[in-house]
């Protein structure tokens, strides 16, 4: 194990958590923008699920912030990447799939940072959240494949489906992952 002071190790965990939080804040803004776009295009079911996934990302952003506070750090409040607007429906799901894939990869690297710096609590937090990102990834992958394989026939089936989440605020995972 590399020799680092306790303070230095703690700071590395806070940095990883803040980098993860920034990714969550970006995903929230991106998915919210898509939710409104899908709603406008009248793809209700897709709009609903993207909204629920944005709610999952909000929960993640808060979980990271709470852990940062426990470690006496200061959670970041913004993100640097730009939000992509006006995406076509096929672009959206390919984009989201790539975003979740990048997230899973990054969080696995942060997991190693936690291990290397001896923080099992934060490690468990990343493990839990990685599993949820994997479910988002699977969902986006399914939709992207449906659109790729069936195209307009699939989209015609989705058109006009309800966008309402029925007042649920539990998010996509809390509702059983799009079941
Ligand atoms: Fe997330
Ligand atoms: Fe996600």
Q: Is the domain defined by 8-161 classed in CATH 1.20.1260.10?
A: yes
Radius of gyration of the chain (CA): 18
Ion ligand 1: residue ranges with CB closer than 5 A: 24, 57, 60
Query: Which pLDDT score, from 0 to 100, does residue 139 have?
Result: 98
For the chain, residues with pLDDT lower than 70 are 1-2, 178-179
CA gap 64, 74 in Å, rounded: 11
- Residue 22 CA, ligand 2 centroid: distance in Å: 13
User: 157 is written with which tokens?
Assistant: 């089936």
Inter-residue contact 161 to 49 (CB < 8 Å): no
Inter-residue contact 76 to 18 (CB < 8 Å): yes
Query: Which pLDDT score, from 0 to 100, does residue 178 have?
Result: 64
> Which residues fall within 8 angstroms of residue 74, CB to CB, at 6 or more apart?
68
The overall pTM is greater than 0.85 = yes
CA gap 2, 6 in Å, rounded: 12
- Residue 129 CA, ligand 1 centroid: distance in Å: 7
Ligand closest to 137 (CA) is 2
Q: Hey, is 8 helix, strand or coil?
A: helix
Query: Which pLDDT score, from 0 to 100, does residue 109 have?
Result: 98
Angle between helix 89-116 and 120-150 (nearest 10): 160
For 168, phi then psi, to 5°, come to -70, 140
Question: Residue 118 has what DSSP assignment?
Answer: T
Kindly report, residue by residue over 149-173, the tens digit of the pLDDT: 999 999 999 999 999 888 777 899 9
Query: Which pLDDT score, from 0 to 100, does residue 164 have?
Result: 87
Residue at token pair 């699920």: 49
């Amino acid at each position: 194990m590399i020799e680092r002071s306790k303070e230095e190790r703690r700071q590395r965990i806070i940095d990883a958590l803040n980098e993860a939080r920034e990714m969550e804040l970006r995903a929230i803004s991106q998915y919210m923008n898509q939710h409104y776009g899908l709603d406008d295009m009248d793809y209700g079911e897709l709009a609903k699920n993207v909204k629920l996934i944005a709610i999952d990302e909000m929960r993640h952003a808060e979980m990271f912030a709470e852990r940062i506070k426990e470690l006496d750090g200061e959670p970041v409040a913004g993100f640097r990447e730009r939000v992509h607007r006006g995406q076509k429906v096929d672009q959206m799901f390919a984009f989201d799939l790539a975003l979740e894939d990048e997230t899973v990869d990054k969080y696995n690297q942060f997991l190693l940072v936690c291990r290397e710096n001896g923080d099992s609590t934060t490690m468990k937090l990343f493990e839990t959240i990685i599993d949820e990102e994997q479910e988002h990834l699977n969902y986006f992958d399914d939709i992207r494949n449906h659109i790729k394989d069936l195209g307009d026939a699939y989209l015609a089936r989705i058109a006009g489906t309800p966008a309402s989440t029925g007042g649920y605020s539990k998010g996509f995972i809390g509702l059983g992952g799009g079941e």
